[in-house]
Amino acid sequence: MSNYIFNGAIYLAALIFLIISLVKSRQKTRQALLKAWLSFKNIIPMLLGVIFLVGLILSLLDTEIISRIIGENSGPLGVMLASLIGAVTLIPGFIAFPTAALLLEGGAGYIQIAAFVQTLMMVGVVTLPMEIKYFSKKAAILRNVISFVLSIGVAYLIGLILKIWN
Amino acid sequence: MDKNTNNKKNFNLKKAFKQYLFFIITAVLLGLLFIFKFDAGVKAADVIAYSFKEMLLVLPPIFIIIGLLDVWIPKETMVRLMGEGSGIKGIILAFLFGTVAAGPLYAAFPIAVVFMKKHVKFSNIMILFGAWGATKIPMLLFEMSTLGFKFALLRLAINIPVIILIAYLMGIFVKKDEVEAIYKKAEKL
Protein backbone atom coordinates (compact mmCIF):
# COMPACT_ATOMS: atom_id res chain seq x y z
CA MET A 1 0.00 0.00 0.00
CA SER A 2 2.64 2.52 1.04
CA ASN A 3 4.49 1.97 -2.21
CA TYR A 4 1.51 3.13 -4.25
CA ILE A 5 1.20 6.28 -2.21
CA PHE A 6 4.90 6.90 -2.61
CA ASN A 7 4.92 6.22 -6.30
CA GLY A 8 2.00 8.58 -6.61
CA ALA A 9 3.96 11.22 -4.73
CA ILE A 10 6.95 10.86 -7.08
CA TYR A 11 4.67 11.16 -10.12
CA LEU A 12 3.01 14.20 -8.59
CA ALA A 13 6.39 15.80 -7.87
CA ALA A 14 7.60 15.11 -11.43
CA LEU A 15 4.36 16.57 -12.82
CA ILE A 16 4.55 19.72 -10.70
CA PHE A 17 8.21 20.31 -11.60
CA LEU A 18 7.39 19.70 -15.24
CA ILE A 19 4.57 22.27 -15.22
CA ILE A 20 6.76 24.87 -13.48
CA SER A 21 9.48 24.18 -16.03
CA LEU A 22 7.03 24.52 -18.92
CA VAL A 23 5.75 27.83 -17.64
CA LYS A 24 9.28 29.15 -17.23
CA SER A 25 10.78 27.97 -20.50
CA ARG A 26 9.45 25.72 -23.21
CA GLN A 27 12.82 25.26 -24.77
CA LYS A 28 14.54 24.21 -21.59
CA THR A 29 11.73 21.80 -20.80
CA ARG A 30 12.13 20.18 -24.19
CA GLN A 31 15.85 19.91 -23.51
CA ALA A 32 15.17 18.30 -20.11
CA LEU A 33 12.76 15.76 -21.56
CA LEU A 34 15.22 14.92 -24.31
CA LYS A 35 17.90 14.30 -21.67
CA ALA A 36 15.46 12.18 -19.66
CA TRP A 37 14.69 10.11 -22.74
CA LEU A 38 18.35 9.68 -23.66
CA SER A 39 19.37 8.45 -20.21
CA PHE A 40 16.36 6.14 -20.18
CA LYS A 41 17.33 4.75 -23.57
CA ASN A 42 20.85 4.32 -22.31
CA ILE A 43 19.81 2.14 -19.39
CA ILE A 44 17.25 -0.05 -21.22
CA PRO A 45 19.41 -2.72 -22.95
CA MET A 46 21.23 -3.64 -19.78
CA LEU A 47 18.17 -3.38 -17.60
CA LEU A 48 16.27 -5.83 -19.80
CA GLY A 49 19.13 -8.31 -19.37
CA VAL A 50 19.15 -7.79 -15.61
CA ILE A 51 15.40 -8.31 -15.34
CA PHE A 52 15.58 -11.54 -17.34
CA LEU A 53 18.53 -12.79 -15.31
CA VAL A 54 16.70 -12.11 -12.05
CA GLY A 55 13.68 -14.02 -13.36
CA LEU A 56 15.90 -16.96 -14.23
CA ILE A 57 17.61 -17.01 -10.83
CA LEU A 58 14.36 -16.69 -8.88
CA SER A 59 12.68 -19.44 -10.89
CA LEU A 60 15.33 -21.84 -9.64
CA LEU A 61 15.44 -20.56 -6.05
CA ASP A 62 12.06 -20.91 -4.42
CA THR A 63 10.99 -20.23 -0.84
CA GLU A 64 11.35 -23.88 0.09
CA ILE A 65 14.95 -24.09 -1.04
CA ILE A 66 15.80 -20.78 0.58
CA SER A 67 14.28 -21.78 3.94
CA ARG A 68 16.11 -25.10 3.83
CA ILE A 69 19.39 -23.27 3.32
CA ILE A 70 18.97 -20.52 5.90
CA GLY A 71 17.00 -22.11 8.74
CA GLU A 72 17.61 -21.11 12.35
CA ASN A 73 20.13 -23.85 12.95
CA SER A 74 22.07 -23.19 9.79
CA GLY A 75 24.68 -21.24 11.75
CA PRO A 76 27.46 -19.14 10.20
CA LEU A 77 27.21 -21.14 6.98
CA GLY A 78 23.53 -20.20 6.79
CA VAL A 79 24.40 -16.54 7.37
CA MET A 80 26.97 -16.72 4.59
CA LEU A 81 24.53 -18.38 2.20
CA ALA A 82 21.75 -15.92 3.14
CA SER A 83 24.13 -13.06 2.36
CA LEU A 84 25.05 -14.64 -0.95
CA ILE A 85 21.42 -15.14 -1.95
CA GLY A 86 20.66 -11.53 -1.07
CA ALA A 87 23.70 -10.35 -2.98
CA VAL A 88 23.07 -12.16 -6.25
CA THR A 89 19.32 -11.66 -6.42
CA LEU A 90 17.48 -8.46 -7.05
CA ILE A 91 14.10 -9.03 -5.47
CA PRO A 92 11.84 -6.00 -5.20
CA GLY A 93 11.26 -5.11 -1.53
CA PHE A 94 7.56 -5.74 -1.89
CA ILE A 95 8.27 -9.37 -2.61
CA ALA A 96 11.37 -9.69 -0.45
CA PHE A 97 9.93 -8.53 2.88
CA PRO A 98 6.86 -10.79 2.89
CA THR A 99 9.11 -13.66 1.78
CA ALA A 100 11.49 -12.86 4.62
CA ALA A 101 8.57 -12.79 7.06
CA LEU A 102 7.43 -16.18 5.78
CA LEU A 103 10.94 -17.54 6.18
CA LEU A 104 11.05 -16.26 9.76
CA GLU A 105 7.80 -18.07 10.51
CA GLY A 106 9.17 -21.10 8.74
CA GLY A 107 12.07 -21.24 11.15
CA ALA A 108 14.77 -19.09 9.62
CA GLY A 109 16.97 -17.27 12.11
CA TYR A 110 16.97 -13.49 12.66
CA ILE A 111 20.64 -13.19 11.80
CA GLN A 112 20.14 -15.05 8.53
CA ILE A 113 17.10 -12.95 7.61
CA ALA A 114 18.90 -9.72 8.50
CA ALA A 115 21.86 -10.82 6.36
CA PHE A 116 19.54 -11.61 3.47
CA VAL A 117 17.63 -8.30 3.64
CA GLN A 118 20.80 -6.29 4.16
CA THR A 119 22.76 -7.68 1.20
CA LEU A 120 19.64 -7.61 -0.93
CA MET A 121 19.43 -3.86 -0.42
CA MET A 122 23.11 -2.95 -0.50
CA VAL A 123 24.80 -5.43 -2.83
CA GLY A 124 23.86 -6.04 -6.44
CA VAL A 125 25.79 -8.71 -8.29
CA VAL A 126 23.38 -8.83 -11.25
CA THR A 127 23.48 -5.06 -11.58
CA LEU A 128 27.27 -5.03 -11.36
CA PRO A 129 27.75 -4.65 -15.14
CA MET A 130 25.51 -1.59 -15.00
CA GLU A 131 27.34 -0.16 -12.04
CA ILE A 132 30.67 -0.70 -13.81
CA LYS A 133 29.35 1.13 -16.85
CA TYR A 134 28.29 4.11 -14.76
CA PHE A 135 31.29 4.17 -12.41
CA SER A 136 34.39 2.04 -12.93
CA LYS A 137 35.29 -1.59 -12.45
CA LYS A 138 37.28 -0.91 -9.32
CA ALA A 139 34.78 1.44 -7.69
CA ALA A 140 31.81 -0.81 -8.44
CA ILE A 141 33.43 -4.01 -7.21
CA LEU A 142 34.84 -2.28 -4.17
CA ARG A 143 31.50 -0.79 -3.17
CA ASN A 144 29.85 -4.18 -3.42
CA VAL A 145 32.60 -6.00 -1.53
CA ILE A 146 32.70 -3.46 1.29
CA SER A 147 28.89 -3.46 1.51
CA PHE A 148 28.85 -7.26 1.57
CA VAL A 149 31.36 -7.56 4.39
CA LEU A 150 29.73 -4.85 6.49
CA SER A 151 26.28 -6.35 5.85
CA ILE A 152 27.32 -9.54 7.61
CA GLY A 153 28.49 -7.47 10.56
CA VAL A 154 25.20 -5.59 10.62
CA ALA A 155 23.27 -8.86 10.51
CA TYR A 156 25.09 -10.28 13.53
CA LEU A 157 24.61 -7.03 15.42
CA ILE A 158 20.87 -7.04 14.69
CA GLY A 159 20.60 -10.68 15.72
CA LEU A 160 22.51 -10.07 18.92
CA ILE A 161 20.51 -7.01 19.95
CA LEU A 162 17.20 -8.67 19.12
CA LYS A 163 18.16 -11.64 21.26
CA ILE A 164 18.69 -9.35 24.25
CA TRP A 165 15.73 -7.11 23.45
CA ASN A 166 13.16 -9.88 23.02
CA MET B 1 27.91 7.49 -50.85
CA ASP B 2 25.94 4.27 -50.84
CA LYS B 3 28.81 2.40 -49.36
CA ASN B 4 29.14 4.98 -46.65
CA THR B 5 25.55 4.74 -45.48
CA ASN B 6 25.81 1.00 -45.64
CA ASN B 7 28.86 1.07 -43.45
CA LYS B 8 27.10 3.30 -41.01
CA LYS B 9 24.13 0.98 -40.89
CA ASN B 10 26.39 -1.96 -40.25
CA PHE B 11 28.15 -0.08 -37.52
CA ASN B 12 24.85 0.83 -35.83
CA LEU B 13 23.66 -2.76 -36.04
CA LYS B 14 26.88 -4.00 -34.53
CA LYS B 15 26.63 -1.45 -31.75
CA ALA B 16 23.02 -2.39 -31.03
CA PHE B 17 23.94 -6.07 -31.04
CA LYS B 18 26.73 -5.46 -28.56
CA GLN B 19 24.43 -3.39 -26.34
CA TYR B 20 21.76 -6.05 -26.34
CA LEU B 21 24.09 -9.06 -26.14
CA PHE B 22 23.51 -9.57 -22.41
CA PHE B 23 19.75 -9.41 -22.94
CA ILE B 24 19.91 -11.80 -25.90
CA ILE B 25 21.84 -14.36 -23.85
CA THR B 26 19.34 -14.21 -20.98
CA ALA B 27 16.43 -14.47 -23.44
CA VAL B 28 17.98 -17.59 -24.99
CA LEU B 29 18.45 -19.07 -21.50
CA LEU B 30 14.80 -18.38 -20.73
CA GLY B 31 13.85 -20.19 -23.93
CA LEU B 32 15.95 -23.18 -22.89
CA LEU B 33 14.35 -23.13 -19.44
CA PHE B 34 10.92 -23.28 -21.05
CA ILE B 35 11.96 -26.27 -23.13
CA PHE B 36 13.61 -28.28 -20.38
CA LYS B 37 11.72 -27.15 -17.28
CA PHE B 38 8.42 -25.67 -18.32
CA ASP B 39 7.17 -24.89 -14.78
CA ALA B 40 10.32 -22.99 -13.89
CA GLY B 41 10.05 -21.14 -17.20
CA VAL B 42 6.54 -19.98 -16.34
CA LYS B 43 7.74 -18.85 -12.94
CA ALA B 44 10.65 -16.95 -14.46
CA ALA B 45 8.28 -15.29 -16.93
CA ASP B 46 6.06 -14.27 -14.00
CA VAL B 47 8.94 -12.63 -12.15
CA ILE B 48 10.11 -10.94 -15.36
CA ALA B 49 6.64 -9.54 -16.00
CA TYR B 50 6.48 -8.21 -12.45
CA SER B 51 9.93 -6.58 -12.61
CA PHE B 52 9.12 -5.13 -16.01
CA LYS B 53 5.93 -3.59 -14.65
CA GLU B 54 7.82 -2.21 -11.67
CA MET B 55 10.43 -0.71 -13.97
CA LEU B 56 7.84 0.96 -16.19
CA LEU B 57 5.95 2.24 -13.17
CA VAL B 58 8.87 3.64 -11.21
CA LEU B 59 11.37 4.88 -13.77
CA PRO B 60 9.54 7.52 -15.89
CA PRO B 61 9.04 10.16 -13.17
CA ILE B 62 12.58 9.57 -11.88
CA PHE B 63 14.04 10.19 -15.31
CA ILE B 64 11.91 13.29 -15.82
CA ILE B 65 13.16 14.67 -12.51
CA ILE B 66 16.73 13.80 -13.52
CA GLY B 67 16.30 15.67 -16.82
CA LEU B 68 14.84 18.73 -15.13
CA LEU B 69 17.56 18.69 -12.48
CA ASP B 70 20.20 18.52 -15.18
CA VAL B 71 18.81 21.48 -17.11
CA TRP B 72 17.63 23.79 -14.33
CA ILE B 73 19.97 23.41 -11.36
CA PRO B 74 23.29 25.14 -12.01
CA LYS B 75 26.46 23.25 -11.20
CA GLU B 76 27.51 25.92 -8.71
CA THR B 77 24.40 25.36 -6.62
CA MET B 78 24.97 21.61 -6.42
CA VAL B 79 28.63 22.11 -5.62
CA ARG B 80 27.71 24.47 -2.80
CA LEU B 81 25.09 22.09 -1.42
CA MET B 82 26.78 18.71 -1.90
CA GLY B 83 30.23 19.25 -3.41
CA GLU B 84 33.69 19.31 -1.87
CA GLY B 85 33.57 21.22 1.39
CA SER B 86 29.80 20.92 1.73
CA GLY B 87 30.44 19.05 4.98
CA ILE B 88 27.59 17.81 7.10
CA LYS B 89 25.03 19.66 4.97
CA GLY B 90 26.02 17.56 1.96
CA ILE B 91 25.84 14.35 3.96
CA ILE B 92 22.35 15.14 5.26
CA LEU B 93 21.13 16.08 1.78
CA ALA B 94 22.54 12.84 0.35
CA PHE B 95 20.67 10.87 3.02
CA LEU B 96 17.47 12.80 2.29
CA PHE B 97 17.72 12.19 -1.44
CA GLY B 98 18.13 8.46 -0.90
CA THR B 99 15.48 8.27 1.78
CA VAL B 100 12.65 9.78 -0.24
CA ALA B 101 13.62 7.73 -3.28
CA ALA B 102 11.55 5.04 -4.90
CA GLY B 103 12.61 2.09 -6.96
CA PRO B 104 15.44 -0.41 -7.03
CA LEU B 105 19.09 0.51 -6.65
CA TYR B 106 19.67 0.54 -10.40
CA ALA B 107 17.41 3.59 -10.64
CA ALA B 108 20.02 5.41 -8.57
CA PHE B 109 22.75 4.93 -11.21
CA PRO B 110 21.48 7.59 -13.64
CA ILE B 111 20.89 9.94 -10.70
CA ALA B 112 24.51 9.43 -9.69
CA VAL B 113 25.54 10.39 -13.22
CA VAL B 114 23.69 13.72 -13.06
CA PHE B 115 25.19 14.35 -9.64
CA MET B 116 28.66 13.64 -10.98
CA LYS B 117 28.05 16.04 -13.85
CA LYS B 118 27.19 18.64 -11.22
CA HIS B 119 30.37 17.83 -9.26
CA VAL B 120 28.69 16.42 -6.19
CA LYS B 121 31.30 14.93 -3.87
CA PHE B 122 32.00 11.22 -4.45
CA SER B 123 31.44 10.25 -0.83
CA ASN B 124 28.03 11.95 -0.90
CA ILE B 125 27.06 9.91 -3.96
CA MET B 126 28.08 6.78 -2.04
CA ILE B 127 25.88 7.92 0.86
CA LEU B 128 23.01 8.42 -1.57
CA PHE B 129 23.50 4.85 -2.74
CA GLY B 130 23.54 3.46 0.77
CA ALA B 131 20.45 5.41 1.80
CA TRP B 132 18.72 4.34 -1.41
CA GLY B 133 19.26 0.75 -0.46
CA ALA B 134 18.84 0.74 3.26
CA THR B 135 16.86 3.66 4.63
CA LYS B 136 14.16 4.33 2.04
CA ILE B 137 10.97 5.47 3.77
CA PRO B 138 8.42 3.47 1.72
CA MET B 139 10.50 0.32 2.13
CA LEU B 140 10.94 1.00 5.81
CA LEU B 141 7.20 1.26 6.40
CA PHE B 142 6.73 -1.98 4.56
CA GLU B 143 9.55 -3.64 6.46
CA MET B 144 7.96 -2.61 9.75
CA SER B 145 4.64 -4.17 8.81
CA THR B 146 6.16 -7.45 7.67
CA LEU B 147 9.28 -8.04 9.78
CA GLY B 148 8.29 -6.02 12.82
CA PHE B 149 8.88 -2.58 14.22
CA LYS B 150 11.96 -3.56 16.24
CA PHE B 151 13.72 -5.27 13.36
CA ALA B 152 13.17 -2.38 10.93
CA LEU B 153 14.08 0.32 13.42
CA LEU B 154 17.21 -1.50 14.50
CA ARG B 155 18.31 -1.99 10.92
CA LEU B 156 17.78 1.71 10.22
CA ALA B 157 19.71 2.81 13.30
CA ILE B 158 22.66 0.54 12.57
CA ASN B 159 22.72 1.38 8.87
CA ILE B 160 23.14 5.13 9.22
CA PRO B 161 26.70 4.92 10.62
CA VAL B 162 27.46 1.94 8.37
CA ILE B 163 26.51 3.91 5.25
CA ILE B 164 28.80 6.75 6.31
CA LEU B 165 31.54 4.19 6.96
CA ILE B 166 31.13 2.71 3.46
CA ALA B 167 31.38 6.19 1.92
CA TYR B 168 34.47 6.90 4.02
CA LEU B 169 36.15 3.62 3.05
CA MET B 170 35.38 4.22 -0.63
CA GLY B 171 37.04 7.61 -0.29
CA ILE B 172 40.18 5.93 1.04
CA PHE B 173 40.37 3.11 -1.52
CA VAL B 174 39.31 4.96 -4.67
CA LYS B 175 42.05 7.49 -5.33
CA LYS B 176 41.44 11.05 -6.40
CA ASP B 177 42.54 10.56 -10.00
CA GLU B 178 40.29 7.50 -10.30
CA VAL B 179 37.33 9.53 -9.07
CA GLU B 180 38.21 12.22 -11.61
CA ALA B 181 38.27 9.62 -14.39
CA ILE B 182 34.81 8.38 -13.32
CA TYR B 183 33.46 11.95 -13.33
CA LYS B 184 34.93 12.56 -16.77
CA LYS B 185 33.25 9.42 -18.06
CA ALA B 186 29.93 10.61 -16.58
CA GLU B 187 30.08 13.74 -18.74
CA LYS B 188 29.83 11.53 -21.80
CA LEU B 189 26.98 9.30 -20.60
Query: Residue ranges of the domains in chain B?
Result: 58-188
pLDDT tens figures, A98-144 = 778 877 877 778 899 999 999 998 999 999 989 999 999 999 999 99
Query: Based on the domain organization, do A91 and A10 belong to the same domain?
Result: no
Chain A positions in Cβ-Cβ contact with residue B141 (cut-off 8 Å):
2
The answer to whether residue A123 is domain-embedded is yes
Q: How many domains does chain A have?
A: 2
Burial B27-36 (b: 16+ CB within 10 A, else e): eeebeebeee
Query: Based on the domain organization, do A39 and A65 belong to the same domain?
Result: no
Inter-chain CB proximity A94 and B60 less than 8 Å: no
The answer to whether residue A75 is domain-embedded is yes
Q: Please, which residues have CB within 8 angstroms of residue B159's CB and are 6 or more apart in sequence? A: A154, B130, B134, B135
Chain B positions in Cβ-Cβ contact with residue A158 (cut-off 8 Å):
151, 154-155, 158
Q: How far apart (Å, rounded) are the C-alpha atoms in residues B13 and A27?
A: 32
Query: Based on the domain organization, do A98 and A22 belong to the same domain?
Result: no
Query: Based on the domain organization, do A22 and A68 belong to the same domain?
Result: no
The answer to whether residue A125 is domain-embedded is yes
Q: How far apart (Å, rounded) are the C-alpha atoms in residues B173 and B153?
A: 30
Query: Based on the domain organization, do A103 and A132 belong to the same domain?
Result: yes
The answer to whether residue A19 is domain-embedded is yes
Q: Please, which residues have CB within 8 angstroms of residue B179's CB and are 6 or more apart in sequence? A: A139, B122
Q: What is the ipTM of this complex?
A: 0.83
Instruction: Tell me the nearest-neighbour CA distance from B86 into chain A, angstroms.
Output: 22
The answer to whether residue A101 is domain-embedded is yes
Query: Based on the domain organization, do A80 and A24 belong to the same domain?
Result: no
The answer to whether residue A81 is domain-embedded is yes
Helix (H, G, I), strand (E, B) or coil at A3: helix
What residue numbers bound the domain in which A40 lies? 1-44
Nearest to A11 by CA among B110, B51, B102, B135: B102
Per-residue pLDDT of chain B (189 residues; tens, 9 = 90+): 455 666 767 778 888 888 899 899 999 999 999 999 999 999 999 989 988 887 888 889 989 998 999 999 999 999 999 999 999 999 999 999 888 776 778 888 989 999 999 999 999 999 999 998 888 877 788 888 889 899 999 999 999 999 999 999 999 999 999 999 999 999 887
Inter-chain CB proximity B133 and A121 less than 8 Å: yes
CB contacts under 8 A, A 69-108 vs B, are: 90, 92-95, 97-98, 100-101, 104
Inter-chain CB proximity A51 and B59 less than 8 Å: no
Burial of B53 (0-12, 13-18, 19+ CB in 10 A): exposed
CB contacts under 8 A, B 23-62 vs A, are: 23, 25-27, 29-30, 33, 40-41, 43-48, 50-52, 54-55, 57-62
Q: Is A156 within 8 Å of chain B by CB?
A: no
Query: Based on the domain organization, do A74 and A152 belong to the same domain?
Result: yes
pLDDT tens figures, B96-151 = 988 877 677 888 898 999 999 999 999 999 999 999 888 887 778 888 888 989 99
Q: Please, which residues have CB within 8 angstroms of residue B91's CB and are 6 or more apart in sequence? A: B124, B127, B164
